[in-house]
Structure 1
Amino acid sequence: MLTMTSATYTGLSDGGPAGLIWSFVWTWFGFSTVMLSLAEMASMAPTAGGQYHWVSEFSPPSVQKPLSYFIGWMSTLSWQAGTASGPFLVGTLIQSSVVVMYPDYSPTNWQGTLMVIAVTILVWTLNIWGSKFMPLFQNIMLVVHVFGFLAIIIVFWVLSPRATAEVTFTHFTNEGNWGSTGLALMVGQISAIYACICSDSAAHMAEEIKDAGKTVPRAMMGAYLMNGLLGMVFLVSYMFMVTDVRAALDDASGYPHLWVFSQAVSAGGVVALNAIPTILIFAGTLTFNLSTSRQTWAFARDKGLPFSSWIGHVDPKLQVPANAVTITCLITVILSLINIGSDVAFNAIISLNVVALMITYMFSIGAVLYRRIRHPELLPSCRWSLGKWGVPINIGGVLYSTHAFFWCFWPESTPVALDNFNWAVVMFVAVAILCLLDYVIRGRRHYKGPVVLVEGFKGQ
């Protein structure tokens, strides 16, 4: 929810306050069909593998193996990119606090990258040697989340100057120089999509949760509903305080929310308020890293990745997939290097996260839709079922995922040059080619697909 404070630059530039609000509304409703579909599949087949397992279990037998393999790679890519976005935000938010306190300081991209690497090392350390303390830490962060939300909302409502309701709900911007405001809105909706995605992280912890078939879908939908409702309250409050979009976008810190804070409190107050989303994003990064490493470990366990035996190893003493955590953190460091040569590195990372994730949603929901229409008698029984609404909700999930997949490849602004190019398309195609090569060379011989272990496979 509070992640939105630090991930609204593209939405403000391409859409403005009204664009961010309305894009969040349609994104939340559209993505709810995806979440409902995923929650049902998590109840049918609770597994750390998530989408690639569901594709293997529900798709037509003739394509189960190659499709599952491809979706496993795309799922790994999406979670790795999503994990990289957390340290990027934390590192650059810390750097932005320095800018606020010392206006003469001129931040550089390489310094921000060093901060990202430092945060990643801390995440790696805590997730390997401090995993047993994670439940306590997450409970503490829940309290911080609630009180942090209240603190920022109170500052917004009491101390900040505000725009009129007409401006907030009807003022659209096109700072990216797109051909029309409608096109700018489509490009800027990635801010809203980023706020909604990865609510399925609980699904990848299913093998470590008791009674997962019931608990996981409830946790997924409960978190999605709560964050959506509170997120809407927060976003509307935030957008009321953006009285000058251009000034917010041009703020020296690089983060529009710090400009909003500065209109209400002193420099010290800005840093104190900025500490709230920084701490919470760091906490979310720890959890995200846990889910990502489990998904990567699960796919390696099924021989879906090169060096699968090493990546899929679980440390017998620590009882964590330490090698998968290490690989995840190394990929975060590699992706952070984009920031050295590009001013839109964060947009590229979250675009990569979204497009790879959306293609896994398209195929996994499409697979269960195929099974639901062609062989409904072979759907596994579950305690969290969509019932008669399954077909329309699944169709909605496939359509929305396709919509988001298409728009998240677009650059932030025009004309397109090297410094504002959306490198997500290059990285996505490169990984897809690597996936194809690995399947031809190694995967088709070693990867069997989790469906061979699923009870009832003979029914197909």
Structure 2
Amino acid sequence: MIESSKLEQKTSGDVQSVSEKDNVYVLDVDNAKLAELGYKSEFKREFSLLETCAFSFSIMGIVASVSSTLAFGMAELASSMPTSAGLYYFSAKLAPEKYAPLASWITGWANITGQVALVCSIDFTCAQMITTAITVNSDGETTLSLGATYGILLAILFAHGVVCSAATRILARLNLFYVVVNVGTTVAAIIALLVVSGDNKVSTKDAFTLFENNSGWMNNGWAFMLAFTSPMWTLTGYDSAAHISEETAGAGRAAPIAIIVGVFATASFGWILLISTSFVIPSISDLLGTTLPLPMGQVFLDVFGKRGMLIIWSFIIVVQFVTGAAQGVDASRVVFAFARDNALPGSRWWKKMNSNAVPVHAVWFVMFWAGILGLLGFSVTALTSLAGASVIGLYTSYSAPIFLRITSGRNKMQPGPFSLGRWSTPVGVVAVSWVTFVTIMLLFPPGQTTTPGTMNYAVLIVGFIFMFATVSWVTSAHKWFHGPVRNVDDVEEKHVS
């Protein structure tokens, strides 16, 4: 028995030793690949494949989508070049050498602007969810002002700053909790809507075919096309898997898988959720007339009553909160990477790491500017325009490297573990075409007759950012920004034997 016990211990020890050696080998390969891309490893690689998928999924939340094709092109790039720099690094390496710094500069600024604006949009919506709950709980007697909503936004941003400053291993584990809450709440909402509504559901024909034009545009076809912009706000952020690739073990494989899984899971759950919602809304016109800050709150109130609505709504608030937390991590990694390449004012400060290998200064950079952008929330029109501008900025930065991949970069990219092969060009064409279409749609106002109070100011926000990027490039940046900066010695590039 003693010998048997010793044998079991020895076998267990050998298995553990092999597992540890495998982990060390994977990390060596990851770090060697990063060194090949020009960067030294500064993060702790504590995101597993499952946690990376959970992170990608958590950022997007749940809503239907028609943009799934974009995920494939992004996954291929992330697999080939797994670095936190992500999109602007891809653009730099795939653009013609003469224009590489400019392509990197524009892509980087578009992505950072979209990332910070998305943090603001997500957290402001979370604040509105809280005010909606307060209004329902008081039976409409308490309606918080825009100033109070902004105060809630600042509190949420502060909480997210604390969460996003946590060590990598904590963030990795938190995302497993995020995805459980996200999926659990979505499934519960889908089932509850269909069951509790009972016989009050609309017919299947009306749920799938009834069309009501409440857009402010007379032409129904045009109104239908504008509806495609709705899911775009949620289906952003799946480049997050690329931005945490320096914190991921086996990043060349894990990042593309996380991107694809995140997009398809979100699109699938979202599609089912919207179908179930369509069965319990007798009239969109009546719904839009609600006095609640968010019409979806009225849907749940009508179906579940006050108590039921507050229960499910509290879980939805948690989902929105964790979505904002995940997006905060994503945005901070983009800021860190851009600062590492000395592309931001004060880059020396924003690329600093704390003792836990977390770019805490970049985290608070994101929260500060998200708070500044939140001032636009005092105007509903401005806030809506900001949401549209964040989508435009992000999708422009998504499509730029894909466009370069299928044009000047066809023969430049060294495929990673995930490659589209001969499908790269057709998938890329579809992705870029879709982004072009939806970007144009996002610039149009909600109605064909506009006033200063109903105008879509996304074009001004986006125009200002691109004007800033262009002017700064022409007047200064072209002299000192030359694209991604190598910070690793040749000795560090060698694979560890």
Would you say same fold, with TM above 0.5? yes
Q: CA deviation at 1:393?
A: 0.7
Match of 1:294 among 333, 338, 351: 333
Which consecutive residues of structure 2, in runs of 5 or more, have no partner in the other structure? 1-56, 490-497
Per the alignment, residue 67 of structure 1 pairs with 103
Q: Which of 309, 321, 326 lines up with 1:282 in the alignment?
A: 321
Alignment length, in residue pairs? 431
1:245 maps to which of 257, 275, 284: 284
Distance 2:102 2:242 in 1: 22
Residue of structure 1 equivalent to 2:50: none
Q: CA deviation at 1:178?
A: 0.6
Rounded to whole Å, the distance in 1 between the matches of 2:110 and 2:174 is 30
The answer to whether residue 347 in structure 2 is matched with residue 308 in structure 1 is yes
- SS of equivalent to 1:275: helix
Give the partner amino acid of 2:128: T
Identity %: 23
Counterpart of 1:217 in structure 2: which amino acid? P
| Secondary structure of the corresponding residue to residue 370 of structure 1 | coil
The DSSP-based 3-state class of the residue aligned with 2:233 is: helix
**Structure 2 residue corresponding to 1:133, chosen from 163, 170, 173:** 170
1:402 aligned residue (419, 436, 443): 436
Aligned residues of 1:87 and 1:285 also touching (Cα < 8 A)? yes
Query: What is residue 360 of structure 2 aligned with on the other side?
Result: 322
Deviations 1:425-445 (A, max 9, x none): 111111112212322344223
1-structure distance, mates of 2:58, 2:247: 27
Inter-partner Cα distance in structure 2 for 1:237 and 1:143 = 21
1:228 to partner: Cα distance = 1.5
Structure 2: how far apart are the matches of 1:400 and 1:171?
26
Q: Name the aligned partner's letter for residue 366 of structure 1.
A: F
Match 1:124 to one of 146, 152, 161: 161
The within-5 A match list for 1:355-366 is 355-366=392-403
In structure 2, relative to structure 1, the CA distance for the partners of 1:268 and 1:156 (3 Å cut) is same
Asked if 1:256 is matched to 2:295, the reply is: yes
Contact residue 58 and residue 323 of structure 2 kept, 8 A: no
Report which stretch shifted further, 158-167 or 141-150. 141-150
- Shift in CA distance, 142/348, structure 1 to aligned 2, threshold 3 Å: same
Unaligned runs of 5+ in 1: 8-23, 456-460
1:94 CA displacement: 0.2
- Provide the C-alpha distance between the structure 2 equivalents of 1:107 and 1:309, rounded to a whole number of angstroms: 41
Q: Distance in 2 between matches of 1:116 and 1:289?
A: 14
Comparing 330-339 with 263-272, greater Cα deviation is found at: 263-272
**2:373 is the counterpart of 1:339:** no
Give the match for residue 204 of structure 1.
243
CA distance in structure 2 between the aligned counterparts of 1:328 and 1:285, rounded to whole angstroms:
12
What's the CA shift string for 1:104-132, capped at 9, x where partnerless? 12332222111111111111122124654
* Shift of residue 95, structure 1, vs aligned partner: 0.4
What residue is the counterpart of 1:181 in the other structure?
220
Distance 2:361 2:155 in 1: 19
Q: 1:41 corresponds to which letter in structure 2?
A: L
User: 1:107 maps to what in 2?
Assistant: 144
**Rounded Cα–Cα distance in structure 2 between residues aligned with 1:5 and 1:447:** 36
**Is the aligned partner of 1:437 residue 2:471?**
yes
CA contact (8 A) 1:2 1:149 kept: no
User: How much is the aligned-residue C-alpha RMSD, in angstroms?
Assistant: 2.3
Structure 1 position 93 matched with structure 2 position 132:
no
Do 2:244 and 2:330's aligned partners in 1 also have CA atoms closer than 8 Å? yes
- Kindly indicate whether the alpha-carbon contact (under 8 Å) linking 1:6 and 1:89 is maintained by their aligned counterparts in 2: no
Q: What's the CA shift string for 1:318-361, capped at 9, x where partnerless? A: 42111111111111111111111x22344222201111112212
Amino acid at match of 2:222: L
Kept in 2: contact 1:175–1:413 (CA 8 A): no
Q: CA deviation at 1:145?
A: 2.2
What amino acid does structure 2 have at the position aligned with 1:261? F
Shift of 1:5: 9.6
**CA pair 368-453 structure 1, distance change in 2 beyond 3 A:** farther
**Given residue 343 of structure 1, which amino acid in structure 2 is its aligned partner?**
V
Q: Distance in 2 between matches of 1:192 and 1:59?
A: 30
